[in-house]
Chains A and B, each alone.
Chain A
């Protein structure tokens, strides 16, 4: 019964079936991205046409670009903001920290649709106020300022907002594990606090920061609901384009673009894992 005892053949079979369940639709999607017809259930021979056409489809390419740009920007910004916020929270008195951490957890605990809808209400009301103000300025002072509407900016703000809690969640435990004396030691040895921060704290919590950034990026790419309510009519992520198509029929080009994304991530994962394995082997050799 110990955890070291490996599962039986039945256990492995069960796991295999669950993984089959998880990957069956993905397999279907990939296979039908090579299908020589628009059908999503009948196989009509192999083609690479959808991949060629994909790059000519400006709607899909634009939404792919938006998705990746938002994911990248929001992950980087959320990682920086979240790391500083974690250090701030860590140094805070409990009396302040606990309620703030509760507020921080709200976007994670709340249903996505509630987060999306409330942000949508907020942006619409704030922009209505601002645009009214601009209109008033134009009519009375002949001054003007750009009018605001839902778009890339609001999408980015929304993504940063739901990403920061994940970064904090991943950085906080690393801060707690860190030996507090390390900072004092560095400062006793003549470091300023800033130097101690860069040379001691950051390297200690680095795994948490990287992990947080990866989670943030993944969450951002996978998000649909919050984007749907905050991106407005003109900006569209890949997920939103898919949802728009789903009411009619999703083009196999979508299968193609998703296959490309999936394969890219798969290859990256394999490279990272192989490199890690090599490093571990090298380390083991050195020890000998």
Chain B
């Protein structure tokens, strides 16, 4: 009877095979092949095995490094901001927590592209922040002190702007998993530690921090993965000079440099590097419950 009920999963298993497993296998096949003209006269093409796509990637080392650097920085910033927020939220009353949760989820209803676009109007050279700085005389002050002649602070189209965009967009993904772990902590554990003479910083270090580690790991994953692969944020806030891995892949599929084989190879390498990072990181959290999302 029990095995019969497990058949309820069959349609979804077939669905997964079709739309999760086969597409990824196809991506692997594409990454290791190339379309070449075999017959110059008829223009007939054939697909051949090659490692060329990976060799070509060497030219993009800068992009790889930049992507991983910016993603790491924004993950770190998200953690530094997100952990205290999650911790403080968990200490508030239930009504406050409910409202705070809603406030964190709510921005998702304003499309992330549009919110990122709003940052453009805030950060632009003639944008809202620069206008504000000018109005309060900050720019003149800096010019006076530094001896420079700035008309505005250059903020848009810098790496900082891209990091800001990433932090802004992915901060909720850091707060939510950490919060959901901390809020479930057994309060009597903390009281026991206090009764046994642990000071407040010791309780935090020895109990709250280790027990909230699964949430932290889950948060890091949920921020790092989209950050390393984004192409919209870098396009909007980074201008044309700050190409990231995502932009590189996008170009191979929809842009002028159409080459799905190279695009697949880049995606594959990115995927493998991310999986390795996650595996190494999860080693630290070994033995913990599977981290929770949302």
Partners in one complex: yes
Q: CB-nearest residue of chain A relative to B194? A: A1
B 75-110 binary contact with A (CB < 8 Å = 1; else 0): 000000100110011111100001110111111111
* Separation of A28 and B187 alpha carbons in the complex (Å): 41
Cβ contact within 8 Å between A41 and B127:
yes
Which residues 197-256 of A have a CB within 8 angstroms of B?
Answer: 215, 218, 221-222, 224-225, 228-229, 238-239, 242-243, 246, 250, 254-255
Chain B residues within an 8 Å CB radius of A32: 121
Q: Give the interface of B toward A (CB within 8 A).
A: 1-3, 5-13, 15-16, 19-24, 26-27, 30, 81, 84-85, 88-93, 98-100, 102-122, 124, 126-128, 131, 168, 171-172, 182, 185, 187, 190-191, 194, 199-200, 203-204, 221, 225-226, 228-229, 231-232, 235-236, 246, 249-250, 253-254, 260, 263-264, 267, 270-271, 274-275, 278, 293-294
Judge if A111 is at the interface, Cβ distance under 8 Å.
Answer: yes
A residues near B1, Cβ cutoff 8 Å: 193
- Find out whether the CB atom of B190 lies under 8 angstroms from the CB atom of A1: yes
Interface 1/0s, chain A 14-43, versus B by CB < 8 A? Answer: 110011011111101100100000001100
Q: Which residues of B contact A14 (CB under 8 A)?
A: 84-85, 88
Q: How far is the CA of A229 from the CA of B249 in the complex (A)?
A: 11
Question: Nearest Cβ in chain B — how far from A35, in angstroms?
Answer: 11
Contacts of A87 in B (CB 8 A): 5, 8-9
Interface size on A, residues (CB 8 A): 87
Q: Which one of A2, A114, A157, A224 contacts B27 once the chains associate, using CB atoms below 8 Å?
A: A114
CB within 8 Å for A169 and B274 given contacts A14-B88, A25-B119, A26-B107: no
- Comparing A45-53, A129-137, A141-149, A260-268, the segment that makes contact with chain B is A260-268
Chain A residue at minimal CB-CB distance from B89:
A15
For A273, the chain B residues whose CB sits under 8 A away are 98-99, 102
Q: A89 with B293: in contact, given A15-B88, A118-B26, A246-B117 (CB under 8 Å)?
A: no
Known: A103-B21, A246-B236. A229 touches B253 (CB 8 A): yes
* CB atoms of A89 and B6 under 8 A apart: yes
Distance of A118 Cα from B88 Cα, bound (Å):
40
- Per DSSP, chain A at the interface is helix
Q: Interface centre among B16, B105, B120, by most A CB within 10 Å?
A: B16
In the docked arrangement, what's the CA distance between A19 and B96, Å?
13
Assembly CA distance A74 to B27 (angstroms): 25
Residue of A nearest to B25 (CB): A118
Is B109 a contact partner of A218 (Cβ separation < 8 A)? yes
Give the Cβ gap from B250 to chain A, nearest Cβ, in Å: 7
The answer on a CB contact under 8 Å between A2 and B191 is yes
Q: Which residue of B lies closest to A8 (CB)?
A: B88
Task: Give the distance in Å from the alpha carbon of A108 to the alpha carbon of B274 in the complex.
Answer: 13
Contacts of B127 in A (CB 8 A): 41
A sample of 8 inter-chain contacts (CB < 8 A) reads A15-B88, A23-B103, A29-B110, A109-B275, A113-B249, A118-B27, A121-B264, A122-B22
Q: A18-B85, A222-B111, A250-B117 are in contact. Are A28 and B122 (CB under 8 A)?
A: yes
- How far, in Å, is B172 (CB) from chain A's closest CB? 8
| Chain B facing A: main interface SS | helix
Q: A7-B88, A23-B103 are in contact. List 16 more A-B contacts (CB 8 A).
A: A1-B194, A15-B89, A24-B122, A41-B127, A41-B131, A81-B11, A87-B9, A89-B9, A111-B226, A117-B263, A121-B27, A243-B113, A255-B114, A265-B109, A269-B102, A273-B102
The complex places the Cα of A121 from the Cα of B278 at a distance, in Å, of 26
**Please, which residues of chain B bring their CB within 8 A of the CB of A65?**
none
A190 is an interface residue with CB less than 8 A from chain B: no
Which of chain B's residues have a CB closer than 8 A to the CB of A6?
91-93
B113 touches which of A1, A111, A224 (Cβ 8 Å)? A224
Are B246 and A122 in contact (CB-based, < 8 A)?
Answer: no
Bound: A133/B46 CA distance, A: 19
Return chain A residues, CB-CB under 8 Å to B21: 103
Contact between chains at B114 and A250 (CB < 8 Å): yes
The answer for the CA separation of A262 and B267 in the assembled complex, in Å, is 34
- Report Cα–Cα, A105/B121, bound state, in Å: 37
Q: How far is the CA of A115 from the CA of B293 in the complex (A)?
A: 19
CB contact between A111 and one of B93, B100, B203, B274 (< 8 Å): that residue: B274
Query: Which of B102, B204, B221 is in CB contact (< 8 Å) with A109?
Result: B221
Measured CB to CB, the nearest residue on chain A to B5 is: A91
Q: Closest chain A residue to B90 by CB distance?
A: A3
The CA-CA distance from A229 to B250 in the complex, in Å, is 9
- Minimum Cβ distance to chain B for residue A219 (Å): 8
Please tell me if the beta carbons of A222 and B112 are within 8 angstroms of each other in the complex: yes
